[in-house]
Chain A
Amino acid sequence: MSLLKIQDLKVYFNARGKTVKANNSIDLEIRENEILGLIGETGCGKSILGRAIVGLLPDNVKIGGKIVYRSEDILNLSENGLRKIRGKNIGIILQNPSAALNPVLSIGNQISEIYRYHENMGKKEARIRTAKMLEMVGIDPKRMHEYPHQFSGGMKQRVMIAMGLALNPGLLIADEPTKGLDPTTKDKIIDLICELVINKNMSLLLITHDIGVAEKMCDRIAVMYAGEIIEIATIKNILSNPQHPYTQDLLNSLPKKGLNQTAGESPSLSSPPAGCRFHPRCRCIIGKCLKTHPQLMETEKGTSVRCFLYGNN
């Protein structure tokens, strides 16, 4: 059964006269206790999709379409309704841990306030739950009274994870959880998230530009380019036989695959190219690509691609 279904989601901003189409009719489904990876380059709108799900977008935004969480459309929930879901049903780990923690509150308080607010728990009981949570993410509970500036980058990331998982949400969204960490801490964080997600049988939406991390964690991968999803497939299919030319180039650009380069730059969201967004940089371009905009078509079981090479959409 699908935990979260995103249907034709459109997220538009108007900035300096131009409308920025950050998310352009996105269809995506996250199943029960599955890890879905959302991969894309900087500025392709993947973080915005993550924040749109929990309604954390700035107020000058126009949102269309539906986001159904267990048969309840989140987008037309009232602010109170949405607030009930955040943290309880859908947790989110924001991108930059060193700025995302309140510098004047101890990390213990910042976690226990979730328990005291959502389940109006007593102070003592909340403290016990917080200690248990800190232990689970590998932080010594005795450091509960310390402040964010006394923790290293990796440790702050663990505090964010503890905050996201405090109320055992059904779905966890992790936005670039390993960015800026050195290799050893990165592996530790990856193992921690996988272990927690599996034994709490939750689903995880992992947002990252680092394919190596996605390989180690995800069951399924969705590749995003210029505000829209261009390929969805299981990790095995994506690695063994990527279909969309962009996914192929992305995988070939990995150091392991010889850093083969692709010309051009990723387009700006405010003035994307006509027709298929990737046509200016595509190797196997055909006439149709320049004018018409391809739809996301399902080719084999569970794999869908947005390209004219496959199926005659």
Chain B
Amino acid sequence: MLKYILKRIFLVFFVVIGVTIVTFSTMHLAPGDPAEVIAVARYGDDLTQEQIDWVRVTEGFDSPVYIQYLKWIKHVMHFDLGRSLVTSHDILEEITIRLPATFKLAVLSLVISLCIAVPVGIVSAVKKNTVIDHLCMSAALLGVSTPNFWLGLLLIWLFSLTLNLLPSYGYGNFEHLVLPAITLGTSMAAITTRLTRSSMLDVLNQEYILTAKAKGLDEKTILLRHVLKNAMLPVITFAGLQIGFLLGGTVIVETIFAWPGIGKLLVDSIYARDFAMVQGCVLFIGILFAFTNLLVDITYAFLDPRIRYENT
């Protein structure tokens, strides 16, 4: 068990370094000369070549790439993600202001997703090939096939334009949170329902369920003591991964509903070609996601006795 966790921790450390390399290199992928972009941002359009060269020297763009990378990493270590090219605010500050908005949306969506998906998945697995099962599965299939940006528009059209019960955008009290959370939550729920059902069916076909029947236990006991315990392991791992997807999903949903989260910040900074901010956001999301994966792996190790009591 300890060996498993140590290995996972080492892997996460390695992945985080990888994330920084990828983030850094995507910035260098950007067309045009970074020094020129910063110079334009600072001195306006009509600028002389010396200004660009001066920016290149001060920002250290003339040194070889890996030195720039090491310098950048040194800054990142001290939680200094640099300044936004456009607003020249501190990037980390911008992100931390918007963190609660994204966090609220992500958590509520996760709750919605799990509350719908887990019970529906279990019921449709237990009552396989009945009307309920076909109904739930077609709804889940529809959910998976509907892009969440279109779902968002449909919900706005239905709830705020026609029935105008809920605001269609903006940030404030709970009312504003409902539609984005439903959009993100239901599209996640569709995927999780299908996973829960296939995980349940997989366990129901195992031989130890036959042994449980052979012991004369009734359906309810078998379901609770034997089936659920095994079936929920992959679902819990997937629920952990979902936190990451929600970060991805927020990018779109926040843009539709003008929800001031990190996702919207990322999209806006891409529009404004503010690469420093983009770099900051991507780094933040990548590292956050890497650590949630680590957390999921460790909880999984505690839940699954085959790993907890691993002996050769």
Contact = CB atoms under 8 A, between A and B. Distances in A.
B216 A84 contact: yes
B233 interface: yes
Contact of B306 (A80, A84, A117, A147): A147
B223 to A, nearest CB: 13
Contact of A86 (B213, B226, B305): B213
B218 A83 contact: yes
B305 A102 contact: no
Contact of A114 (B210, B213, B215, B305): B215
Contacts of B212: 102
B216 A146 contact: no
Q: How large is the interface on A (under 10, 10 to 19, 20 to 34, 35 or more residues)?
A: 20 to 34
Given A84-B216, A102-B230, A146 B309 contact: yes
Nearest to B308: A147
B50 interface: no
Given A104-B233, A149-B306, A150-B311, A85 B216 contact: yes
Interface string B113-151: 000000000000000000000000000000000000000
A180 B208 CA distance: 18
Interface in A114-154: 114, 117-118, 146-147, 149-150
A104 B214 contact: no
The main secondary structure of chain B at its interface with chain A is helix
A113 B226 CA distance: 11
Q: How large is the interface on B (under 10, 10 to 19, 20 to 34, 35 or more residues)?
A: 20 to 34
A85 B215 CA distance: 9
A312 to B, nearest CB: 43
Contact of B217 (A56, A113, A149, A160): A113
19 contacts: A56-B210, A80-B218, A86-B213, A86-B215, A88-B216, A94-B211, A94-B214, A96-B207, A101-B208, A101-B211, A102-B226, A103-B305, A104-B306, A105-B226, A105-B229, A106-B305, A117-B215, A147-B305, A160-B211
B215 A100 contact: no
**Across the A-B interface, the 3 shortest Cβ-Cβ residue pairs:** A87-B216, A86-B216, A99-B207
Interface in A235-294: none
Interface string B180-217: 00000000000000000000000000111011111111
B208 A83 contact: no
Given A100-B210, A101-B208, 19 more contacts: A54-B214, A56-B213, A86-B215, A87-B215, A100-B207, A100-B208, A100-B211, A103-B208, A103-B305, A104-B229, A104-B304, A113-B221, A114-B216, A114-B217, A117-B217, A149-B309, A150-B309, A163-B211, A163-B215
A102 B306 CA distance: 11
B229 to A, nearest CB: 5
B293 to A, nearest CB: 22
Contacts of B211: 94, 100-102, 160, 163
B208 A102 contact: yes
Most A CB atoms within 10 A — which of B213, B229, B233? B213
Contacts of B309: 146-147, 149-150
A22 interface: no
A92 interface: yes
Given A94-B207, A96-B207, A103 B214 contact: no
A94 B225 contact: no
A96 B230 CA distance: 19
Contacts of B304: 104
Contact of A92 (B214, B221, B229): B214
A149 to B, nearest CB: 5
Most A CB atoms within 10 A — which of B208, B214, B218, B230? B214
